[in-house]
Amino acid sequence: MNYKIGIIDSNQKDLIKLNHLLSKLKKEEFDVFSFNDPRQFKYNEKYHVLFLSIVMPHNDGFTIAKKYLKSFPKTIIIFVTNHKELVYQACNIHPFDFIRKEKLEVEISYVFKEIICKLHSLYPHITLSYQGNTYHINIHDIIFCESFNHHIEIHCKDDTYRFYNSLKNIYSMINNQSFQMLGRSYLVNMNKVIKLENNTLYLYNNYTIPINKKNKSYISSLIQGEDFYD
Protein backbone atom coordinates (compact mmCIF):
# COMPACT_ATOMS: atom_id res chain seq x y z
CA MET A 1 0.00 0.00 0.00
CA ASN A 2 1.01 3.60 -0.48
CA TYR A 3 1.40 5.67 2.67
CA LYS A 4 0.76 9.41 2.54
CA ILE A 5 2.96 11.79 4.50
CA GLY A 6 1.99 15.42 5.03
CA ILE A 7 4.41 18.17 6.09
CA ILE A 8 3.11 21.54 7.30
CA ASP A 9 5.68 24.24 8.07
CA SER A 10 5.47 27.96 7.38
CA ASN A 11 9.27 28.18 7.32
CA GLN A 12 10.13 27.44 3.69
CA LYS A 13 13.76 26.47 4.41
CA ASP A 14 12.74 24.01 7.14
CA LEU A 15 10.04 22.59 4.88
CA ILE A 16 12.49 21.96 2.04
CA LYS A 17 15.06 20.48 4.41
CA LEU A 18 12.62 17.99 5.95
CA ASN A 19 11.27 17.05 2.53
CA HIS A 20 14.82 16.41 1.32
CA LEU A 21 15.69 14.23 4.32
CA LEU A 22 12.49 12.21 3.93
CA SER A 23 13.20 11.67 0.23
CA LYS A 24 16.43 9.93 1.20
CA LEU A 25 14.80 7.80 3.88
CA LYS A 26 11.46 6.86 2.41
CA LYS A 27 10.78 3.87 0.22
CA GLU A 28 8.73 3.82 -2.95
CA GLU A 29 5.45 3.21 -1.09
CA PHE A 30 5.53 6.71 0.43
CA ASP A 31 4.05 9.84 -1.13
CA VAL A 32 5.00 13.16 0.49
CA PHE A 33 2.89 16.32 0.32
CA SER A 34 4.19 19.67 1.60
CA PHE A 35 2.27 22.73 2.77
CA ASN A 36 4.04 26.03 3.40
CA ASP A 37 0.74 27.73 4.28
CA PRO A 38 -1.37 25.90 6.91
CA ARG A 39 -4.52 27.30 5.30
CA GLN A 40 -3.88 25.17 2.21
CA PHE A 41 -4.08 21.93 4.18
CA LYS A 42 -7.30 19.97 3.62
CA TYR A 43 -8.70 18.21 6.68
CA ASN A 44 -10.81 15.75 4.71
CA GLU A 45 -7.84 14.04 3.05
CA LYS A 46 -6.31 11.05 4.78
CA TYR A 47 -2.62 11.11 5.70
CA HIS A 48 -0.93 8.26 7.50
CA VAL A 49 1.75 10.55 8.96
CA LEU A 50 1.77 14.31 9.61
CA PHE A 51 4.91 16.31 10.41
CA LEU A 52 3.74 19.56 11.99
CA SER A 53 5.62 22.67 12.95
CA ILE A 54 4.11 24.07 16.15
CA VAL A 55 4.46 27.84 15.81
CA MET A 56 3.02 29.10 12.52
CA PRO A 57 0.95 32.08 11.39
CA HIS A 58 -2.79 31.59 10.84
CA ASN A 59 -2.84 28.17 12.52
CA ASP A 60 -0.51 26.43 14.97
CA GLY A 61 0.45 22.76 14.92
CA PHE A 62 -1.51 21.91 18.07
CA THR A 63 -4.76 23.25 16.61
CA ILE A 64 -4.22 21.42 13.32
CA ALA A 65 -3.47 18.13 15.09
CA LYS A 66 -6.53 18.31 17.35
CA LYS A 67 -8.88 19.08 14.48
CA TYR A 68 -7.40 16.49 12.14
CA LEU A 69 -7.35 13.63 14.66
CA LYS A 70 -11.11 13.95 15.12
CA SER A 71 -11.54 12.60 11.59
CA PHE A 72 -8.42 10.42 11.34
CA PRO A 73 -7.46 9.22 14.85
CA LYS A 74 -4.92 6.66 13.58
CA THR A 75 -2.74 9.28 11.89
CA ILE A 76 0.77 9.46 13.32
CA ILE A 77 1.57 12.99 14.51
CA ILE A 78 5.17 14.21 14.70
CA PHE A 79 5.85 17.74 15.95
CA VAL A 80 8.94 19.37 14.46
CA THR A 81 9.92 22.48 16.40
CA ASN A 82 12.56 24.79 17.80
CA HIS A 83 10.30 25.55 20.77
CA LYS A 84 11.15 22.82 23.26
CA GLU A 85 9.27 24.71 25.97
CA LEU A 86 5.99 23.88 24.16
CA VAL A 87 6.46 20.12 24.23
CA TYR A 88 4.51 19.58 27.44
CA GLN A 89 1.53 21.49 26.07
CA ALA A 90 0.99 18.65 23.60
CA CYS A 91 0.35 16.00 26.25
CA ASN A 92 -3.40 15.90 25.62
CA ILE A 93 -2.79 15.38 21.88
CA HIS A 94 -0.56 12.32 22.45
CA PRO A 95 1.80 12.83 19.50
CA PHE A 96 3.90 9.91 18.35
CA ASP A 97 7.14 11.88 18.77
CA PHE A 98 8.93 15.25 18.68
CA ILE A 99 11.86 16.27 16.52
CA ARG A 100 14.07 19.24 17.31
CA LYS A 101 14.80 21.27 14.21
CA GLU A 102 18.37 21.89 15.31
CA LYS A 103 18.85 18.08 15.49
CA LEU A 104 16.72 17.28 12.44
CA GLU A 105 19.31 15.25 10.50
CA VAL A 106 20.03 12.98 13.45
CA GLU A 107 16.56 12.57 14.93
CA ILE A 108 14.60 12.11 11.67
CA SER A 109 16.43 8.88 10.90
CA TYR A 110 15.57 7.31 14.25
CA VAL A 111 11.99 8.57 14.26
CA PHE A 112 11.36 7.36 10.72
CA LYS A 113 12.36 3.81 11.65
CA GLU A 114 9.86 3.96 14.49
CA ILE A 115 7.22 5.31 12.12
CA ILE A 116 7.72 2.33 9.80
CA CYS A 117 7.21 -0.11 12.66
CA LYS A 118 4.09 1.71 13.80
CA LEU A 119 2.60 1.81 10.29
CA HIS A 120 3.16 -1.90 9.83
CA SER A 121 1.30 -2.60 13.06
CA LEU A 122 -1.55 -0.22 12.19
CA TYR A 123 -1.84 -1.31 8.57
CA PRO A 124 -0.61 -4.92 8.26
CA HIS A 125 -0.10 -5.82 4.63
CA ILE A 126 1.20 -8.46 2.28
CA THR A 127 3.63 -7.77 -0.57
CA LEU A 128 3.24 -9.57 -3.89
CA SER A 129 4.84 -9.19 -7.30
CA TYR A 130 3.37 -9.92 -10.71
CA GLN A 131 4.60 -9.16 -14.23
CA GLY A 132 7.32 -6.82 -12.98
CA ASN A 133 5.08 -4.86 -10.60
CA THR A 134 5.11 -4.98 -6.80
CA TYR A 135 1.91 -4.53 -4.80
CA HIS A 136 1.51 -3.78 -1.09
CA ILE A 137 -1.99 -4.82 -0.03
CA ASN A 138 -3.50 -3.91 3.33
CA ILE A 139 -5.02 -7.11 4.70
CA HIS A 140 -7.88 -5.16 6.31
CA ASP A 141 -8.91 -4.04 2.81
CA ILE A 142 -9.17 -7.61 1.52
CA ILE A 143 -12.72 -8.92 1.20
CA PHE A 144 -11.89 -12.37 -0.14
CA CYS A 145 -9.39 -14.27 -2.28
CA GLU A 146 -10.39 -16.62 -5.07
CA SER A 147 -8.32 -19.39 -6.67
CA PHE A 148 -8.65 -20.64 -10.26
CA ASN A 149 -6.31 -21.93 -12.98
CA HIS A 150 -3.21 -21.55 -10.77
CA HIS A 151 -4.00 -17.85 -10.26
CA ILE A 152 -5.30 -15.91 -7.29
CA GLU A 153 -7.63 -12.94 -7.44
CA ILE A 154 -7.55 -10.76 -4.32
CA HIS A 155 -10.72 -8.70 -4.10
CA CYS A 156 -10.33 -5.53 -2.03
CA LYS A 157 -12.71 -2.70 -1.26
CA ASP A 158 -11.22 -0.46 -3.97
CA ASP A 159 -9.55 -2.82 -6.42
CA THR A 160 -8.92 -6.41 -7.52
CA TYR A 161 -5.43 -7.87 -7.94
CA ARG A 162 -4.45 -10.99 -9.85
CA PHE A 163 -1.34 -13.05 -9.11
CA TYR A 164 0.24 -16.35 -10.03
CA ASN A 165 0.16 -17.96 -6.58
CA SER A 166 -1.63 -20.49 -4.39
CA LEU A 167 -4.43 -19.86 -1.95
CA LYS A 168 -2.55 -21.78 0.72
CA ASN A 169 0.45 -19.49 0.34
CA ILE A 170 -1.70 -16.34 0.53
CA TYR A 171 -3.37 -17.69 3.66
CA SER A 172 0.04 -18.23 5.24
CA MET A 173 1.17 -14.72 4.31
CA ILE A 174 -1.94 -13.05 5.72
CA ASN A 175 -1.70 -15.02 8.97
CA ASN A 176 -4.81 -13.49 10.50
CA GLN A 177 -7.56 -15.34 12.37
CA SER A 178 -10.25 -13.26 10.65
CA PHE A 179 -9.53 -15.11 7.40
CA GLN A 180 -11.08 -18.52 6.84
CA MET A 181 -10.50 -21.05 4.06
CA LEU A 182 -13.75 -22.17 2.47
CA GLY A 183 -12.92 -25.24 0.44
CA ARG A 184 -10.11 -25.06 -2.12
CA SER A 185 -11.33 -21.98 -3.95
CA TYR A 186 -12.01 -19.23 -1.41
CA LEU A 187 -10.25 -17.45 1.43
CA VAL A 188 -12.70 -15.08 3.11
CA ASN A 189 -12.19 -12.17 5.49
CA MET A 190 -15.01 -12.97 7.90
CA ASN A 191 -15.10 -9.34 9.03
CA LYS A 192 -16.48 -8.55 5.56
CA VAL A 193 -19.38 -11.01 5.80
CA ILE A 194 -22.83 -9.42 5.72
CA LYS A 195 -24.99 -12.51 5.95
CA LEU A 196 -25.36 -16.18 5.09
CA GLU A 197 -28.63 -16.90 3.31
CA ASN A 198 -29.60 -20.26 1.85
CA ASN A 199 -26.45 -21.38 0.00
CA THR A 200 -24.98 -17.94 -0.58
CA LEU A 201 -22.50 -15.95 1.49
CA TYR A 202 -23.01 -12.19 1.05
CA LEU A 203 -19.96 -9.93 1.43
CA TYR A 204 -19.21 -6.22 1.21
CA ASN A 205 -19.12 -4.56 -2.23
CA ASN A 206 -21.98 -6.81 -3.38
CA TYR A 207 -19.78 -9.89 -3.66
CA THR A 208 -21.39 -13.29 -3.24
CA ILE A 209 -19.86 -16.75 -2.79
CA PRO A 210 -21.69 -20.06 -3.31
CA ILE A 211 -21.55 -22.25 -0.23
CA ASN A 212 -21.88 -26.03 -0.12
CA LYS A 213 -23.60 -27.89 2.71
CA LYS A 214 -20.38 -28.71 4.56
CA ASN A 215 -19.11 -25.12 4.51
CA LYS A 216 -22.54 -23.74 5.36
CA SER A 217 -22.56 -25.54 8.70
CA TYR A 218 -18.99 -24.38 9.42
CA ILE A 219 -19.70 -20.74 8.52
CA SER A 220 -22.89 -20.73 10.58
CA SER A 221 -20.92 -21.78 13.64
CA LEU A 222 -18.37 -19.01 13.00
CA ILE A 223 -21.01 -16.34 12.58
CA GLN A 224 -22.78 -17.43 15.75
CA GLY A 225 -19.52 -17.38 17.70
CA GLU A 226 -18.17 -14.19 16.08
CA ASP A 227 -14.77 -14.89 17.61
CA PHE A 228 -13.03 -13.51 14.53
CA TYR A 229 -14.33 -9.98 14.81
CA ASP A 230 -12.03 -7.13 15.87
Tens-place pLDDT, residues 142-201: 999 999 888 999 999 889 999 999 999 999 999 998 999 988 899 999 999 999 888 899
Burial of 159 from C-beta contacts in 10 A (0-12 / 13-18 / 19+): exposed
Inter-axis angle of helices 12-25 and 104-122, to 10 degrees?
Answer: 60
Q: What is the pTM of this model?
A: 0.71
Q: What is the DSSP letter of 53?
A: E
The stretch 199-226 carries a mean pLDDT of 82
- What's the pLDDT score for residue 21? 92
* pLDDT, tens digit, 9 for 90 and up, residues 42-73: 999 999 999 999 989 988 999 999 999 999 99
Determine how many CB atoms are found less than 10 A away from the CB of residue 157: 12
Q: Name every residue whose Cβ is closer than 8 Å to that of residue 8 and which is 6 or more positions away in sequence.
A: 34, 35, 38, 41, 50, 51, 52, 53, 56, 61, 64
pLDDT of residue 37: 95
What is the mean predicted confidence (pLDDT) over 2-26? 91
Q: Tell me the pLDDT band of 2, cut-offs 50, 70 and 90.
A: confident
Tell me what the pLDDT averaged over the chain comes to. Answer: 89
Task: Give which of 230, 200, 68 is closest to 219, Cα–Cα.
Answer: 200
- Sign of the torsion formed by the C-alpha atoms of 207, 212, 218 and 223: positive
Q: Tell me the β-bridge partners of 152.
A: 147, 163
Instruction: Answer whether 180's CB lies under 8 Å from 188's CB.
Output: yes
* Phi, psi for residue 199 in degrees, rounded to 5: -115, 30
Q: What percent of the chain has pLDDT over 90?
A: 63
Nearest CA-CA partner of 58 in 108, 118, 8: 8
Say what the pLDDT of residue 230 is.
43
> For the segment 81-103, what is each residue's pLDDT rounded down to a tens digit?
887 777 777 777 889 999 999 99
Confidence of residue 229 (pLDDT cuts 50, 70, 90): very low
Give me the pLDDT at residue 228, please.
46
